[in-house]
Amino acid sequence: MEKTKIRPFGWQDKLGYAMGDMGCGFSFQLVSTFMQLFYLQYIGIKAADYAIIIIISKVFDAINDVVIGNLVDTKRIGKKSKYMPWIIAGGLILVIFNVMLFAPITSLPYAAKYAWCLVAYCLWSIAYTMVNVPYGSLHSVITSDTQEKVSLSTFRSIGGALPAIVIMIVLPGIVYDKVKNPVTGLDEEILKGGTLLPVALVLSIVAFATLWGTTKLVKERVHREDSTENKNGVTAFFSAFKSFFTNRAMVGATIASVASVALFNSTMALNNMVFQYFFQDTEKVGIAMIGSYAPMIVFMALLGKLTAKFGKKKVIVSCMLVGTLSGVVSLFVPMTANMTGMLLYIVCLMGLNVGNAVFQISVWAIVADCIEVSYRKSGKSEEGSLYALYSFFRKLAQGIGQAVVSWGLIAIGFVEGENAVQAADFGNKVKNLYFIVLAAGSLIAFLSMAFIYNIGKKEEEELAKVTTEANK
């Protein structure tokens, strides 16, 4: 490929890459935070049935990731960039299926509602993958410098966190209402499911605008021989499959991600339920989540310096150990449904978030390093397929996590349907369930990064040196 002069890596790349995850985040956070609540509490899908929907759709989604990743590697839909046209096309389709997911289909027969939920979620998954796989793959071709990769990963995390904060602060006041419980006589929070359709439309338009911004600001600087382009898709897939599972670092990072996603990041619905049924104050969700994100804010500022001195692995493992120990302690902290209890709740989440925050900020730089290891080993440009395989397992983890949440809710006696009355002790049970799931996720992620992932500071520096030399 003929090399042309490209401006140096700088703030435009960081901002543009952050905007990409912001676009993905507005869609993903809305779905991960409110879809389960929407279908259980408003549409009236049974929790056990919802768990089956999630498992089926996530298996489909995971396979879909691999297919689209393979297409990104082997088939170009644009002349200048391998990734940008996919992001734009997927972003346009995503707008449609974001809206479809939150259609107020309460009048349909139960079987029709069930089918709608399953089909809509599968279609949304295709569109999201068309955006997210090429966007994630983009990380590995923007820069070869280790610290610049960390900087990109940090800005990606900022971009991904902003939609979560907006959704947590703004949406509760829109989608929840207070009603009097006919049994207890107390005010309770209910979900106004019909409001989520216009919300989904607005957020979808904002998401597309930010994705478009990514394609205009980000530049690709790392050029590799496109050995997979226009090659047989099946052959290319099996080659990438072998590269993935013979890469110890990739396997370690993937296991940690699966644990983190399944047992940590797929639990936002539980957090909402804690405020809905234990604290009975959903207006405080946003404030509480901002407080619990304090470790992420701190490490965003410090991560570059820490990883430059100690390497990504050492920093991540140390913080994960803190998070795991905090999770164990959180299970034994007595809490009451008042402001003091809420402050204790936030402090516990802050401790748990230490490890998860650092991992989530760093994970994209880690995956880029793993992809670079595979390229140095095989000589094949397989960014799309390798990222898609990684995403495959994250998607399965999302399904597992949401299914675990649904089964956990069944175990503690959750009653489905709009205006359903829960048992008096349900709030305390859902709070305990939340902390158990978080602690388990922290422990598994810590063990995988500590004992399987094997790219230390020395290996990071060697990878950066080789890649920089190859692109001179």
CA distances to 163, 189, 300, 370 from 304, rounded to whole Å, are 23, 42, 8, 19
Within 13 Å, how many C-alpha atoms sit on residue 161's CB side? 20
Alpha carbon distance 72, 83 (integer Å): 7
CB of 440 closer than 8 Å to CB of 397: no
Tell me if 92 is assigned to some domain: yes
CB of 120 closer than 8 Å to CB of 39: no
Tell me if 332 is assigned to some domain: yes
What dihedral do alpha carbons 61, 67, 69, 75 form, nearest 10°? -150
Alpha carbon distance 218, 165 (integer Å): 25
Write the CB contacts of 20 (distance below 8 Å, at least 6 apart in sequence). 87, 135, 138, 156, 159, 210, 211, 214, 218
Tell me if 2 is assigned to some domain: no
> Can you give the CATH number for the domain in which 315 is found?
1.20.1250.20
Closest CA to 277 of 133, 170, 415: 415
Closest CA to 292 of 377, 354, 215, 207: 354
Tell me if 138 is assigned to some domain: yes
- How many beta carbons lie within 10 A of that of residue 222, not counting itself? 18
pLDDT of residue 1: 41
Tell me if 1 is assigned to some domain: no
Alpha carbon distance 445, 383 (integer Å): 24
pLDDT of residue 287: 77
Residue 413 zone, left/alpha/beta (φ > 0; ψ -120 to 50; rest): left
Which residues span the domain enclosing 305?
A: 11-470
Residue in the block written with tokens 């990109």: 152
pLDDT of residue 76: 74
Closest CA to 24 of 147, 157, 152: 157
Alpha carbon distance 228, 50 (integer Å): 39
Instruction: Tell me which residues of the chain have a pLDDT lower than 70.
Output: 1-4, 78-79, 180-188, 224-237, 265-266, 417-419, 466-472
How many structural domains is the chain composed of? 1
pLDDT of residue 102: 94
* Chain segment 262-291, per-residue pLDDT in tens: 877 667 778 888 888 898 887 787 777 777
Average pLDDT across the chain, whole number = 84
pTM: 0.70
